[in-house]
Amino acid sequence: MIVLKLGGSVITHKDRAETLDGASLEQAADSIARALENEGGALEGGLVLVHGGGSFGHHNASEHGVSTTTGTHDAGAVLEIHGAMKTLNQFVLTRLLERDVQAVPVHPFSTACRDGDGALELPTSQVKSMLAEGFVPVLHGDVIAQTGRGATVVSGDELVVELARALEADRIGLCSTVPGVLDEEDAVIERISNYEAVESVLGASETTDVTGGMAGKVNGLLELEGASSIFGLDGLASFLEGKNPGTTIE
């Protein structure tokens, strides 16, 4: 099975608060629908989707001073951040359903949490049941309760790592707004197996982002046993066909 994240930077205009990038979301939904129609293809074992926040969630979290480590005890702030993510989730589900993809929501706020050290606990038995019944579960970056800190942000990137581990994913992909991890000359780095070797080129996101941009992605994916890929929207169809576009992290 495949765990795929649609980056918020792809499906929204990340520099404008709560603005969907409808054309890119539709292109992504088309690629997913086409890949699922392909019997015997790479998606035969099922697909779990995660999407990020982009201009939904990050702006709200930033306004309330909430990040993956700084929490809030203000339920109003939680509702605003979670509400923005649910709005985006609804857009994603609708575009998939319009293409007959049997996409269903999983909201991390109602199921996941962090311990006092920030370690993520993400139950996955409901995701497994959904997969077994032929659904495409769609999770998203969110706020979640954290022991001693109220509620903190959980990135879609963290969810991908946890899902990949718990579901023993065969393939893991992060589709972002860049064609891969870029070096100093903006060329795509083909393979990364060591964080220190690329640390100097890994930065945060250029837009409002409370979860760590490219550095966080590479760090998280390197923790996994198997290989994973970071690629742009133009690489999505090829990734879903079983190829390795963009940067391979192993």
Ligand X SMILES: Nc1ncnc2c1ncn2[C@@H]1O[C@H](COP(=O)(O)OP(=O)(O)OP(=O)(O)O)[C@@H](O)[C@H]1O
Binding residues vs ligand X (CB under 6 A): 7-10, 14, 52-54, 58, 156, 176-178, 181-182, 201-203, 205-206, 209, 211, 213-214
Our finding on whether 245 is near ligand IP8 (CB under 6 A) is: no
Q: Is 155 in the site for ligand IP8 (CB under 6 A)?
A: yes
Consult the annotation and say whether 8 binds a ligand. yes
- Pick between residue 85 and residue 169 the one whose CB is nearest to ligand IP8: 85
The number of residues that bind ligand IP8 (CB under 6 A) is 17
Instruction: Answer yes or no: is 54 a known binding residue.
Output: yes
52 binds ligand IP8 (CB under 6 A): yes
Q: Return d(Cα 66, Cα 23) in angstroms, integer.
A: 30
**How far out from the chain centre does Cα 154 lie?**
10
128 is an annotated ligand-binding site residue: no
Q: How far apart are CA 54 and CA 61, in angstroms?
A: 11
Residue type, 30: D
Q: Which does 181 bind (CB under 5 to 8 A by kind): ligand X, ligand IP8, none?
A: ligand X
Paired with 230 in beta bridges are 174, 247
64 is an interface residue for ligand IP8 by CB under 6 A: no
Reference 108, options 172, 50, 173, 64; nearest CA is 50
Cα angle: 185, vertex 53, 207; to 5 degrees: 40
Is 232 labeled as ligand-binding? no
Q: Is 9 assigned to a binding site?
A: yes
Going residue by residue from 123 to 152, which x/- string records binding to ligand IP8, judged by CB under 6 A?
Answer: ------------------xxx---------
In the numeric block, the tokens 């742009």 are attached to 232
Between 14 and 114, CB nearer to ligand X: 14
Among the listed residues 84, 14, 97, 82, the one whose alpha carbon sits nearest the alpha carbon of residue 49: 97
By a kind-dependent CB cut-off of 5 to 8 A, residue 142 interacts, out of ligand IP8, ligand X, none, with: ligand IP8
Spatial contact of 180 and 232, defined as CB atoms under 8 Å apart: yes
134 annotated as ligand-binding: no
Task: Report if residue 156 touches ligand IP8, rule: CB under 6 A.
Answer: yes
Is residue 148 marked as binding?
A: no
Torsion of CA 101, 214, 11, 166, to 10 degrees: 20
Q: Contact at 8 Å (CB) between 11 and 20?
A: yes
Binding letters toward ligand IP8, positions 67-86, x by CB under 6 A: --------------x---x-
Query: For residues 190, 195, 198 and 199, what is the CA-based torsion angle, rounded to 10 degrees?
Result: 150
User: Which value, to the nearest 10 degrees, does the dihedral of the CA atoms of residues 57, 93, 79, 151 take?
Assistant: -70
Annotated binding site for substrate: 53, 58, 156
Give contact residues for ligand IP8 (rule: CB under 6 A).
Answer: 8, 52-53, 57-58, 61, 81, 85, 141-143, 153, 155-157, 210-211
